Amino acid sequence: MPRRLPQFEFTVLLALLFATVAFSIDAMLPGLPQIAADLSPEDVNRAQLVLTAFVFGMGFGTLVSGPISDHFGRKPVILFGLGLYIVGAVIAGLSNTMEMMLIGRAIQGVGGAFPRTVGVAMVRDLYEGREMAKITSFVMTIFMIVPAAAPSIGALIISDFGWHGIFAAFVFVAVVGATWLGLRQSETLSPDNHRRLNWADLSSGVKEVFGNYNVRLYTVILMLGFGQMFAILSSVQQIYSETYGLEQVFPYFFGSTAILAAGGAILNGKLVSEKGMHFLIRLGYTIALTASVIALAFNLMGIGTGTPGFVVFFLWTVAMFSINAFTFGNLNALALVPLGRLAGLANSLIGAVFTMGSVLIAAPVGLAFNGTPIPVMAAGIFCSGLALILFRFEDSATAPHGAPPKPSE
């Protein structure tokens, strides 16, 4: 068994590494207007691609980081990823064209995926059962809290140092994480568990993962859910600023949205054992579809502006973020059930496909912004409705049922 850090220190370190991804997305939101004015004044909607490029890079990083960490070890791969993240942040922070910015953000996204993906494997190397569940639960709680604070932190940095300053903050966080990991954490993958990079085995694994009909179906449904969420993230700052004139208070309202939406995770934890994963997935997408139809109807009836329109939009975003707790984790769990011995590779493959695929949904929705929330609400109807329809085509004969296995199993 590899040498362990004290559990508290290991958990906090892991939370920092995980939070890097959320911070890299949400802290950017207040800076998008400045970036648009400096790098794309002729088409301010292109600033949303700053987020899209990061997510696309993150999808690719998710795909490759798992297998190479099985070969080279967890620690060197995470350190390499953080180095790549820093390089991308420096390129983006020094960019003077939108194209250079997007290249830097894509590189940053690739590197940012490494600590999150490989961090899960580190927990699996060192802990099992209830201890593993306890650490993972705490880390994911921190991961959910970060979006509440990140826009406010980003706004403070940008107000003093401009949008370039936020990239300096990204570099600082990554350097702290890399130094802490490098000096304090030993390699967690034991020598006996290192695997050769055998491309024939990888190819066979890919075929086995996506040869399963239900796995393919769950992955597409995950892509629709992540796509609608990221479409909201891409447009939300512009909607607050241009539609409702609330640019100055955007970080606080967005933080409130994240905090209120965290209630969905608590509710999911209580209901999943009683109602099962299938029920909660259907409930989540039904809520999203209903909320999107109602919100869009208000806008089409001319109640989309002013205070009433903002109240509708705020409540809609709370509903859309809340249902993620019902859908993402449960769909991912269903997809992994039939792939026990390939769980690590399967998690990387499924995560990469639905993350990169979501960009194909979010990017055109963001570019279609017309000064109203109508495009993103229409995307919510499309994604949630299609997800519900596709879920009805699940192969019930081979689908897993009930709640996820207990941590001790």
Class of residue 89 by CB neighbours under 10 A (exposed 0-12, middle 13-18, buried 19+): buried
Paired tokens of 367: 């570019």
- One-character DSSP codes across 315-342: HHHHHHHHTHHHHHHHHHHHHHGGGGGG
Average of pLDDT values for 245-267? 86
- One-character DSSP codes across 93-112: HT-SSHHHHHHHHHHHHHHH
Domains of the chain: 1-195 (1.20.1250.20), 198-409 (1.20.1250.20)
Q: Where are the alpha helices (DSSP H) in 27-97?
A: 32-39, 49-72, 74-93
Query: Is residue 278 helix, strand or coil?
Result: helix
Q: Tell me what pLDDT residue 97 has.
A: 95
Nearest Cα to Cα of residue 309 among 240, 235, 248, 233: 240
pLDDT in tens, 142-156: 776 777 788 889 999
- One-character DSSP codes across 353-371: HHHHHHHHHHHHHHHT--S
pLDDT of 404 strictly over 50? no
pLDDT confidence tier of residue 401, bands split at 50, 70 and 90: low
For the chain, the residue count is 409
pLDDT in tens, 294-328: 999 999 998 878 889 999 999 999 999 988 888 88
Residues 6+ apart with CB under 8 A from 326: 264, 268, 280, 281, 283, 284, 287
In whole angstroms, how far apart are CA 231 and each of 218, 317, 324?
20, 11, 14
Average of pLDDT values for 193-217? 84
Q: Positive or negative, the Cα torsion across 66, 67, 68, 69?
A: positive
Residues 6+ apart with CB under 8 A from 267: 325
Residues 6+ apart with CB under 8 A from 409: none
- Whole-number mean pLDDT of the chain? 87
Give long-range contacts, CB 8 A cutoff, 24+ apart: 168-172: 168/93, 169/27, 170/20, 170/23, 170/24, 170/27, 170/85, 170/86, 170/89, 170/93, 170/108, 171/86, 171/89, 171/90, 171/93
Amino acid at 395: D
Average of pLDDT values for 126-153? 74
This prediction's pTM: 0.82
Query: Is residue 395 helix, strand or coil?
Result: coil
pLDDT confidence tier of residue 351, bands split at 50, 70 and 90: confident
CA distance 92 to 86: 10
Choose the most confident range, by mean pLDDT, from 14-18, 66-70, 291-295. 291-295
Class of residue 393 by CB neighbours under 10 A (exposed 0-12, middle 13-18, buried 19+): exposed
pLDDT confidence tier of residue 285, bands split at 50, 70 and 90: very high
The answer to whether residues 282 and 391 touch, using CB atoms and an 8 Å cutoff, is yes
Q: Tell me what pLDDT residue 305 has.
A: 80
Residues 6+ apart with CB under 8 A from 280: 268, 271, 272, 326, 327, 330
Amino acid at 14: L
DSSP conformation class of 189: S
